[in-house]
Structure 1
C-alpha cells in the first residue's frame, strides 16, 4: 500500500518558478482574450495606458508570487551568513513540502553534524591544553621555582656575610628574586589550579577572587550558594576556567573597581554570574578569550551569555543545565 509520504513527490525549484510564471502568463492571456479592449494601429494613448497598467500589474503579481515561493531560500541564505557553531541550536523551521523542505532539512542536519564535530574537536584540543598546562606548571614549580629558591638562599647567605655597601645591593637582588619566585608560583597556580583538585570549587573560586583583588586592585564580592548539587569534575574545571577568563577580561578591558562573582542554583541548573561596573560591552567583535569560554561551555552542554549588566558594566552568565554529567 502506498503511503501519503511515498505518494508525495517533491516539486523542484525549477517547476515552482515555472508554475508561478505560468499562472501569471495564463492570467494575462485570459484577460487579453476576454477583455473588450482592442489595439489600434497606431496605438492610441488610452490603449497604451491600459496595456502599460496591465503589464505593471502582472509584474507586481509575478514579483509577489516569486517572493513567496523563494522566501525559504532567503531565510536559509541569511542563516548561512550568520550561523556560529559556538552558539548551537540555530535551526530553520520546516514550513513547506518538496525540494525546499528537503534543502532546509539537509542544512539543519549538516549543522547538527558540524556542531557535534566541533564539540568533539574542541574537547580534544582543550584536554590537550589542560595536559600541557599541567606539564608547564609542574616544570615551573619543580625546576624554575627550585632554582629561584636556591638563588634566594644564596643571596641571603651572601648578604649576611657582605660588607654594608654591598649588602644593600644583595638585599635588593634578594627582594627582586623573591618577587620573581612569587610570580612564577602565581603563574603555575593559574596554569594548574591545584586548589581546585585538592579543596574543591568553592575554595578555588575564593583563591581566584583573592588573587584578582591583589593584582588587579578591584574589590570582588563573592557568593557561593550552599547545597549545590554534586558537580562533575569536568564541570568544575569549566566553571573555574570561565571565572578565571572572565576576571582576566575585567582586569584587561573593563576598567572596573568592583566585581560580583556568584555561583548559585536556578532549578536543576547551576549558574555562574560575573558582574562588573566597568565600561560595558563594546561594539568590537569577540576575541579569543570569549570564544575560548564558549568552547569550554560547549564541553559540558552549557550556555554562555555576555551582555550589558543591569547597572552598567558587563554580565557574564554561564548556565550548566546538567551539572552532574559532562557530555
Structure 2
C-alpha cells in the first residue's frame, strides 16, 4: 500500500473520529441542558418557595441567600460547560450569531479590541463546514489570547459561490521567525487537528504573517455542488 493511500485512509479515519466526537459532544451538551439544567431550574423554584416560608430570622435568611448564590453559580457553570461542549446557537441561530457572540465575549474577557466582519446573509454551507469554521475561530482567538500579545483582532468571513473562508487576524508578534511550515506547528495539536479536519472536507488551513506585524489564521472550505433539480 502506497504512502499516499495510507495518508488518505488516515485522513478519512480522522474525519470519522472527529464527526463522532462532535456528535458525542452535542449529545452530552443536550443531555446536560435537558436533565441537569431542568433539575437546577426546578431546585431554584423550590428554594424560592422555601425561602418565602422561612421565619424572618437574619441567620436563616442569610443562609438561604448563600444557597441561592451557590445555586446560581452552579447554573452558570453548567451553561458554560454546555456551551464549550457544543454551541447550539450555531444550529438554531446561525453562524453569524455564533461568531458575533464569540468575538464579543472574547473582547469583554480579554479587554481587547475585537471585531467581526461577516456576510450580510447567513452563509449557505453544510453543518460540518460551519462546525469547522467556528472551531477555527475559537482556536484562533484562544491562540491570540495566549501567545500573540496583540491589541487588536478581527474575524473575517468571506462567503463565495464555490467556497467559504474564515480568517482570524491580529497585530501581535506573529509566527516565530515568520515560519509557516508544518515544523512550526509541532506541539500545536489544536491547529494540526483543525488542519486535518479542513483537509477532510477538501479545504486547507494556514498560519502566516499578517504583513509586517501579527499573524493570520485562515481556513478555506469548498462548498459542495448544489444538486440539479
TM category (shorter chain) comes to 0.7 to 0.9
Which of 16, 30, 51 aligns to 1:138? It is 30
Contact kept? 1:228, 1:265, Cα under 8 Å? no
1:77-96 to 2 correspondence within 5 Å?
A: none
Task: Provide the C-alpha distance between the structure 1 equivalents of 2:116 and 2:48, rounded to a whole number of angstroms.
Answer: 39
Q: CA deviation at 1:255?
A: 4.2
SS of the equivalent of 1:262 reads strand
Decide which of 51, 56, 75 is 1:181's aligned counterpart: 75
**TM-score, scaled relative to structure 1:** 0.58
1:304 counterpart = 2:205:
yes
Corresponding position of 2:43:
151
Q: Which of 114, 117, 122 in structure 1 is aligned with 2:9?
A: 117
Q: Which runs of 5+ in 2 are unaligned?
A: 177-183
Identify the residue that residue 195 of structure 2 maps to in structure 1: 294
Which has the higher mean CA deviation after the structures are superposed, 147-156 or 112-121?
147-156
Determine the C-alpha separation between the residues in 1 that align with 2:101 and 2:133: 14
What's the CA shift for 1:261? 0.5
1: CA distance between counterparts of 2:82 and 2:110?
Answer: 18
Q: 1:309 to 1:173 in 2, by over 3 A?
A: farther
More strand by share: 2
Moved more, 203-212 or 287-296: 203-212
Contact 2:125 2:223 in 1 (8 A): yes
2:220 aligns to what? 319
Q: Distance in 2 between matches of 1:206 and 1:134?
A: 21
Q: Is the 8 A contact 2:167 2:219 kept in 1?
A: yes
Do 2:157 and 2:166's aligned partners in 1 also have CA atoms closer than 8 Å? yes
> Contact 2:103/2:114 (CA < 8 Å) preserved in 1?
yes
Q: What whole-Å deviation, never above 9, does each CA across 1:209-245 have from its counterpart, x for those lacking one? A: 2333344443320001336763223212211221122
The equivalent position to 1:231 in structure 2, one of 125, 130, 152, is: 125
Whether contact under 8 Å (1:220, 1:259) holds in the other structure is: yes
Structure with the bigger RCO (C-alpha within 8 Å, sep 6+) is: 2
1:275 to 169, 178, 194: 169
CA distance, structure 2, for counterparts of residue 315 and residue 120 of structure 1: 27
1:23-102 counterparts in 2 under 5 A? none
Q: Is contact 1:137–1:192 with CA below 8 Å preserved after alignment?
A: yes
Larger radius of gyration: 1
SS in 1 for 2:2: helix
Q: Provide closer, same or farther for how the CA distance between residues 243 and 168 of structure 1 changes in structure 2, counting only shifts above 3 A.
A: same
Contact 1:196 1:204 in 2 (8 A): yes
| C-alpha contact 2:44 2:68 (8 A) present in aligned 1 | yes
Is the CA contact (8 Å cut-off) linking 2:152 and 2:171 kept in structure 1?
Answer: yes
Q: TM-score, normalised by structure 2?
A: 0.80
